[in-house]
């Protein structure tokens, strides 16, 4: 479905980002993936992607750093020649009740989860427009749709991602570039592995499908949105949440 395309994926050393990178490689896309702290893990991911016989390179970069992102994007264009797909997945959490949340914890989450999307989109916008059928996929969250106690920073950032997605979709449509968001619910990752048992039980009882989702289920939607099969979908927010946020 993605043969010959080049995809840039942020936060791809673990979790949802890793699953998206592997799934897109499986469908023939060349992969440029960005990570920050997991050097050995990123090397392992690169080896796994190579197994799909596509071109792959890893780039260490803090997506919240405007200049670092600019330099990294220039390296990607130099290495791959073009970019067709951008997946803005990188994100962090620093949960806490609003009354106790520090300014630094609020700013850090906004900088990575929201400003990081702006930085990547800004610096890859021209190459993606040149592709003729560019695809931008932003990973939001159901927290950005309905809010979540203890996540004022995360919910605000992910809601901002949805607004940015819709604006990008309108601004880039004239160049045949689509921009959509995926809003995962409770997904089994390293991040959710540390959830208290009570939270897991709550998820299992309140989610209509009675289970948490998998990273592959999110990755499947990302591949669809990156492919020609979604060519008339833009500005949309697709929930992958088992019905949690209906």
How does pLDDT run across 203-232, given as a tens digit for each residue? 788 899 998 999 999 999 999 999 999 999
Read off the pTM.
Answer: 0.95
And the tokens for 34? 């960005």
Q: What is the CATH number of the domain that holds 72?
A: 3.40.50.720
| Residue 149 resides in a domain | yes
Q: For residue 205, what pLDDT is reported?
A: 86
Categorize the per-residue pLDDT at 44 as very low, low, confident or very high, splitting at 50, 70 and 90: very high
Average pLDDT, the chain: 95
Would you place residue 201 in the very low, low, confident or very high pLDDT band (cuts 50, 70, 90)? Answer: confident
Q: Per the domain annotation, does 134 fall within a domain?
A: yes
Range of the domain at 219: 6-239
Cα distance between residue 25 and residue 48, in whole Å = 9
Residue among 66, 154, 202, 232 flagged as catalytic:
154
Q: How confident is the model at residue 135 (pLDDT cuts 50, 70, 90)?
A: very high
Across 96-118, average pLDDT: 97
**Residue 167 covered by a domain:** yes
- Tokens (6 digits) for 107: 């700013």
Q: Report if residue 220 sits inside a domain.
A: yes
Is the distance from CB of 8 to CB of 87 less than 8 angstroms?
yes
How many distinct structural domains can be found in the chain? 1
Assess if residue 174 is contained within a domain: yes
232 is catalytic: no
Q: 70: how many CB neighbours lie within 10 A of its CB?
A: 14
């Amino acid at each position: 479905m993605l043969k010959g395309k080049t995809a840039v994926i942020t936060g791809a050393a673990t979790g949802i980002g890793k699953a998206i990178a592997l799934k897109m490689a499986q469908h023939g896309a060349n992969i440029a993936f960005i990570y920050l702290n997991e050097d050995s893990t990123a090397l392992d991911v690169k080896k796994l992607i190579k197994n799909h016989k596509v071109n792959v390179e890893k780039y260490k970069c803090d997506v919240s750093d405007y200049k670092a992102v600019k330099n990294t994007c220039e390296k990607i264009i130099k290495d791959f020649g073009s970019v067709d797909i951008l997946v803005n997945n990188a994100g962090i959490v620093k949960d806490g009740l609003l009354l106790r949340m520090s300014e630094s914890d609020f700013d850090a989450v906004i900088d990575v989860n929201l400003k990081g999307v702006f930085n990547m989109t800004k610096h890859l916008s021209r190459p993606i427009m040149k592709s003729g059928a560019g695809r931008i996929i932003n990973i939001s969250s159901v927290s950005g749709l309905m809010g979540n106690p203890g996540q004022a920073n995360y919910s605000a950032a992910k809601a901002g991602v949805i607004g940015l997605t819709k604006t990008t979709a309108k601004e880039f449509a004239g160049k045949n570039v689509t921009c959509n968001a995926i809003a995962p619910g409770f997904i089994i990752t390293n991040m959710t592995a540390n959830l208290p048992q009570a939270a897991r039980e709550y998820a299992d009882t309140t989610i209509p499908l009675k289970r948490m989702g998998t990273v592959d289920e999110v990755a499947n939607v990302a591949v669809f949105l990156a492919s020609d099969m979604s060519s008339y979908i833009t500005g949309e927010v697709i929930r992958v949440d088992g019905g949690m946020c209906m």
